[in-house]
Amino acid sequence: MKKRINIITGFVVAIMCAIFLVGCGKSSDKYADYAKVIYHLEDGEYKGSKLDVTMYYPVEEGQKLALAKTIDQIDTISPPGTNKVLGGWYKTKTENGYQDLVDAKYEIGYKETLDLYAKWKNSINNKFVFKAKINNEDVVLTTAENYEAGGKLNVSESLEIEIKRALKEHNLTYIKEFEVDSKKYDKTTISEITMPETDSDFEYVIYVDYIVGNYYLVSNPTEFKNAMIYISDYDGIYLMEDINLNDYADLSALNSQTTTKELIGNGHTITYTTNYQQSYTNDQAQSFYEISIFHNATNINVHDVNFEVTWYGRSKDVPVLVTGLALTASNSKFANINISYTYNSRNENDTEGKANDVYDVSNSQNYEVNNVTITYKKK
């Protein structure tokens, strides 16, 4: 372990030399080959003293010593009676202030002498304050404190948990979107926000966007499957990304609830491949395998979403009826939906449904379809 010797210069050193007969001249010769760092405390304190602190460090000729190994040894206390914190160590002190800030990467060399001056600044608590406009009032959700000037906002997982919890108390769902000065941000771009330079405590307000209700946010296939499992505990599903479900396409949970469930697509696309079908006999006693997104849609509200579906049949003996959106619908709404169907046509009686509506209108009730487009492609 490298030897470290601290010498407090000035009057105290002189007294120590006189009282303890320390050979000050010899001591100076002893450390002649050492690197020397003089810490000018600038009214601060080190171990109860305001005197400058000199430290010697053995550095081999041709070698360098990182300042990180020296500067951390100075546990400097701010000037008594002030609300100051250390603003850094500087190499130069002038009438106009301090210059040449050094950091832990700075290196001192063999026999080098380095003067460092402590710069003190006001203790400032800069914070990001997360708010939500609820019923025309600004409601504080949480804060992120003690940011330095220039520090970038970090929306950490723990911070998101606090935001979610606070919004849930108002029956609102956090959707990972923000607004600052009328500009929209997502969780990634919000990190562009930096704390400005200030002379006093500063609050940087970030508004959090939300949707009313309790929704399951979905960004990947696993979350989508879990949403189907726990849909009864939520008001609906909120898509955050395009989802490729591959061979999984079970949306039946949306149709089996006693209360209306909502699927908010945000313009995203759900892609999947399926061979699911259900038997259907029309009024002319013709039998089909019916394939669609929602089959017998009940108590659902679906909007702003796209579906890309590939269906492969298991039999050519029975024709398929590709109804597209749904065979029947009751107490349901559909809006701003694009559906692209690709299916195997193996029977001359295969039939395509309507291009923009529920197929069996006579057995449907209390439903709405607006701006729905369905296209079919045979393989």
Domain extent, residue 55, equals 5-122
Angle at alpha carbon of residue 241, lines to 204 and 325, rounded to 5°: 135
Same domain, 114 and 51: yes
Q: Can you list the pairs that 286-289 forms with residues at least 24 positions away whose Cβ atoms lie under 8 Å?
A: 286/319, 286/349, 287/318, 288/318, 288/319, 288/320, 288/321, 288/351, 289/313, 289/315, 289/318, 289/319, 289/320, 289/321
Among 122, 145, 162, identify where a domain stops: 122
Q: What's 190's DSSP letter?
A: G
Same domain, 291 and 200: no
Q: Does residue 232 sit in the same domain as residue 365?
A: yes
Closest by Cα among 258, 266, 269, 318 to 291: 318
The DSSP output letter for 258 is S
Last residue of a domain, one of 195, 212, 229: 212
> What value does the mean pLDDT take over residues 207-233?
95
CATH number of the domain that residue 34 is part of: 2.60.40.4270
In sequence order, the 6+-apart residues with CB closer than 8 A to the CB of 139 are: 131, 132, 133, 166, 170
Q: Are residues 362 and 246 in the same domain?
A: yes
Answer whether residue 125 shows pLDDT above 90. Answer: no
pLDDT tens digits for range 293-324? 898 999 999 999 999 998 887 667 888 888 88
Number of domains in the chain: 3
- Residue 255, φ and ψ in degrees, nearest 5: -90, -5
pLDDT digits 0-9 by tens, 317-362: 888 888 889 999 999 999 999 999 888 877 788 888 888 889 999 8
Residues 328 and 200 in one domain: no
- Are both 234 and 350 inside the same structural domain? yes
The Cα diameter of the chain in Å comes to 119
pLDDT of residue 71: 66
Residue 170 corresponds to which tokens in the numbers above? 């108002």
Higher pLDDT, 142 or 198: 142
The residue to which tokens 């997360």 are assigned: 130
What gap in Å lies between CA 145 and CA 187, rounded to an integer? 18
Model confidence over 76-95: pLDDT tens digits? 777 776 778 788 889 999 98
Euclidean distance between the first and the last CA atom of the chain, given in angstroms as a whole number: 76
pLDDT tens column, 16-73: 333 222 333 334 578 888 989 899 999 888 888 889 988 888 888 889 888 776 666 6
In a shared domain, residues 152 and 181: yes
Strands (E) located in 58-126: 64-66, 84-94, 97-102, 107-109, 113-122
Residues 109 and 159 grouped into a single domain:
no
Q: What is the arithmetic mean of pLDDT over 259-273? A: 95
For residue 261, give the DSSP letter: E
pLDDT at residue 211 greater than cutoff 60: yes
Residues 318 and 257 in one domain: yes
Task: Answer yes or no: do 285 and 334 share one domain.
Answer: yes
Percentage of residues in the chain with pLDDT exceeding 70? Answer: 89
Over its C-alpha atoms, the chain yields an Rg (Å, rounded) of 36
| Same domain? 185 vs 226 | no
